[in-house]
Structure 1
Amino acid sequence: KNSLSPHWVKVFEIDYELGTPSKVAVNIFDEVRKGENKGIGSAVFDIGELLGARGNTKARKLKKGGTLFATVRKSQGSGMLRLQVKGTKLKNVEGMFSKSDPFFELSRKVDAAGSLTWDNVYRSKDIHNNLNPEWETAIISLSTLCGGNLDLPILLSVFDHESSGKHKPMGQLETSVNGLKQAAETRNSLQLQRKGKDVGAITVVKAEANFVDYVSGGCEINVVVAIDFTGSNGDPRKPGTLHYLHPDGRKNDYEKAISAIVGILSKYDSDQKFPVVGFGAKYGGVVRHCFQCGPHEESHGVAGVLDAYKQVFKSGLVMSGPTVFTEVIETAAARAMSSQSEAQRKGQQSYTVLLILTDGAVSDVQATAHSLNQVSHAPLSVVIVGLGDADFSSMQFLDDSSKPGKRDIAQFVQFNRHASNSVALTSETLHEIPEQLTGYFSSNGISPLPPIQ
């Protein structure tokens, strides 16, 4: 804005094949808010010529005056970085009677015509009159930001926005993508400096890859289903109880939840094999808190999960209690660790979601919270769906029970609030999983694999 020497930060990705002519036409306009934009000039760049030029940069004179520069680089690396930062106690450069309007820029170090220089690749929006700004989350291509090299130097610069376009420097710091990730994990602030003096701090709120990048790279999402067979569900032979199987084929609430939630997650699992376990029932007079449902260790597809669920009622179980999750949580965590270890051995990635369907609050909340914290290092998310009309207030505590330094892996959803809308149910149930998955891989320094073609 208000500049005749602009430095645009938008990066365009172009498919290029050696030997095939490829040209890019660039048109420059003066933006007119009320009316048609006015043309300033245009230029055409040949991609092959840019690649052969020193520093991969060429200049074109514009007819109406001025020079346009274009630079091309090979796109390297894959994935996206979700980055959110905030500033603390930034030094005001606006004057005595107003505050600065800070925005930040990210630049990568590049070799331009034989010398290293900083190339601006991202610019945030400015925040008015605020010396403790929290900028919105940015989603930046890792190819653009660092060429796939997570240790490549990155310059984070903060400026005071001026309508004249002559923005005032407020401070800068040098880091890398790995440096940003580490700062997010440790919550350590990064010090801004200007002319050798500290001028405020930057806190990295989040710095992680995008869920879509992991899925596009073939990350398998495995699902383990755990079903509550405690006596509080009622006699399954009586209509109106939660486990009642309708003769006309209508689904009970357990079947509805399985169909909706497993139906979505199954799209990310190539083998469609799902372990189904139960808890809270007696077999041979002994209460079991983790037992296999159905004749097979894994059930195939959603239909197989539903069939395994129904088979339990033909197995001679006696519905009992108490309601205990710890065994199924620990079993799922062990399975998740084993699956990821095996996937890594093959150059792949794996993540597990444990879906617990229950009609009541757990008997020992503290033991359950402890169990969740103990397995928070595993590639695991735990989704708990409460069915029926029980008091689930203590279950909400589990949703917020993670200790400092531990991943939050649990999510609780009450089925009755979304019973008439399966889309709302799955959206509410699964909305934390992308962040939990990326949080696990990011905290372990595991980047997304290249997209599967």
Structure 2
Amino acid sequence: MSTFKRENSLKMDQGRFQRLSEITSAMQEEGLYKCGLIFGIDYTMSNKVQGEKTFGGKCLHDISEDELNPYQEVITILGETLQPLDEDGLIPAFGFGDSRTKGDAIFPLKDVGSCVGFRDVLATYNRVTPTVKLYRPTNFAPLIYKAINIVRATKKYHILVIAADGQVNSEEETTAAIVEASNWPLSIVTVGVGDGPWGTMNEFDNKLPKRNFDNFQFLCFQDVVDGARNRKTAFALHALMEIPDQYAAIEQLGLMEKLEDE
């Protein structure tokens, strides 16, 4: 894996961010002026019990008017931060781990086309989620390959955000997909929601094999927001702080040019 030792302001000046728009501006200052955004949502059975400590004992997909569930927060915070960088505003959103796909496929949250803006992603998630039957296992591979196909079709750099409540069950398949993704202008941010534990996911992140660039990051949502003065900016910053370095690596490797030549 190539190493790009390029410091960026998202890592160095973390205390200066008070609003999500400031993080967006910082990413632009680091050279990322446009990107696409893709969401993947985990609908495995363990969501029913993974909120025992961190979400008042409720299912992590519980939808109410009183508070946002962790998936809604991930969509809202990262959507608001990244939407200004998305020229067409189209955001594909997919679910996985439900009783229909059973770890072998994904399903689009919207029946026809992509969501238009993160608010549409949130509204679609709110409408669809009560109808989804939770199941198993946790396999990121089908989602990652779908993201690669979207990058190839649109010829645009994308950030894939995977919000998941548990460990990867299909490690070999997921690892192969992440390695293949490093051949394309695609960053993968996986957000662990719920109680964890997340030791296996941290190990999974650290033991990934040689790739063209470090294209995968894992972080625990609750660890980041607990005790944070501003949970929105704290989470957005931790989720996106590696993106400028990844984008610089993509440029140095000529992956955008490779995409244009297809």
- Stretch moving more, 385-394 or 363-372: 363-372
Preserved contact between residue 282 and residue 288 of structure 1 (Cα < 8 Å): no
Question: Are 1:399 and 2:205 matched, yes or no?
Answer: yes
C-alpha distance in structure 2 between counterparts of 1:301 and 1:211, whole Å: 19
C-alpha distance in structure 1 between counterparts of 2:151 and 2:243, whole Å: 15
User: Shift of residue 258 of structure 1?
Assistant: 1.1
| Cα 1:444/1:319, change in 2 over 3 Å | same
Bigger Rg, which one = 1
- Which residue number corresponds to residue 231 of structure 1? 45
The equivalences for 1:419-430 within 5 A come to 419-420=225-226, 421-430=231-240
User: Shift of residue 262 of structure 1?
Assistant: 1.6
Other structure's SS at 1:303 match: helix
- Which residue number corresponds to residue 343 of structure 1? none
Preserved contact between residue 32 and residue 244 of structure 2 (Cα < 8 Å): no
Deviations 1:285-337 (A, max 9, x none): 9665310103332111121011121222354x321001110000111012112
Q: What is the one-letter code of the residue matched to 2:252?
A: S
Out of 245, 252, 270, the position equivalent to 2:63 is 245
| Cα 1:430/1:213, change in 2 over 3 Å | closer
User: Shift of residue 403 of structure 1?
Assistant: 3.1
| Cα 1:446/1:356, change in 2 over 3 Å | closer
Question: Are 1:260 and 2:260 matched, yes or no?
Answer: no
C-alpha distance in structure 1 between counterparts of 2:166 and 2:234, whole Å: 22
Q: Which runs of 5+ in 1 are unaligned?
A: 1-82, 85-135, 139-209, 341-349, 448-453
Out of 141, 145, 149, the position equivalent to 1:326 is 141
Preserved contact between residue 31 and residue 244 of structure 2 (Cα < 8 Å): no
C-alpha distance in structure 2 between counterparts of 1:405 and 1:419, whole Å: 30
- Which residue number corresponds to residue 412 of structure 1? 218
| Cα 1:295/1:404, change in 2 over 3 Å | closer
TM-score, structure 1 as length reference: 0.46
Deviations 1:114-143 (A, max 9, x none): xxxxxxxxxxxxxxxxxxxxxx979xxxxx
Deviations 1:177-205 (A, max 9, x none): xxxxxxxxxxxxxxxxxxxxxxxxxxxxx
| Cα 1:242/1:407, change in 2 over 3 Å | same
User: Shift of residue 437 of structure 1?
Assistant: 1.0
TM-score, structure 2 as length reference: 0.77
Q: What is the one-letter code of the residue matched to 2:144?
A: I
C-alpha distance in structure 1 between counterparts of 2:59 and 2:148, whole Å: 31
C-alpha distance in structure 2 between counterparts of 1:353 and 1:445, whole Å: 14
Q: Which runs of 5+ in 2 are unaligned?
A: 9-26, 258-262
C-alpha distance in structure 2 between counterparts of 1:286 and 1:415, whole Å: 25
Out of 271, 280, 295, the position equivalent to 2:88 is 271
Preserved contact between residue 179 and residue 210 of structure 2 (Cα < 8 Å): no
Question: Are 1:369 and 2:175 matched, yes or no?
Answer: yes
Preserved contact between residue 266 and residue 301 of structure 1 (Cα < 8 Å): yes
Which fold has the larger relative contact order, with Cα–Cα distance below 8 Å and residues 6 or more apart in sequence? 2
| Cα 1:137/1:302, change in 2 over 3 Å | closer
User: Shift of residue 418 of structure 1?
Assistant: 2.1
C-alpha distance in structure 1 between counterparts of 2:120 and 2:196, whole Å: 29
Question: Are 1:295 and 2:105 matched, yes or no?
Answer: no
Q: What is the one-letter code of the residue matched to 2:36?
A: N
| Cα 1:373/1:269, change in 2 over 3 Å | same
Q: What is the one-letter code of the residue matched to 1:322?
A: P
Q: What is the one-letter code of the residue matched to 1:244?
A: D
C-alpha distance in structure 1 between counterparts of 2:123 and 2:37, whole Å: 16
User: Shift of residue 214 of structure 1?
Assistant: 4.2
Deviations 1:208-267 (A, max 9, x none): xx9647435xxx30001000000110189x972111011x25211111111111211111
- Which residue number corresponds to residue 21 of structure 2? none
- Which residue number corresponds to residue 96 of structure 1? none
- Which residue number corresponds to residue 99 of structure 2? 282
- Which residue number corresponds to residue 169 of structure 1? none
- Which residue number corresponds to residue 215 of structure 1? 32
C-alpha distance in structure 2 between counterparts of 1:393 and 1:291, whole Å: 28
Q: CA RMSD of the aligned region, Å?
A: 2.8
Q: What is the one-letter code of the residue matched to 2:192?
A: G
Question: Are 1:438 and 2:248 matched, yes or no?
Answer: yes
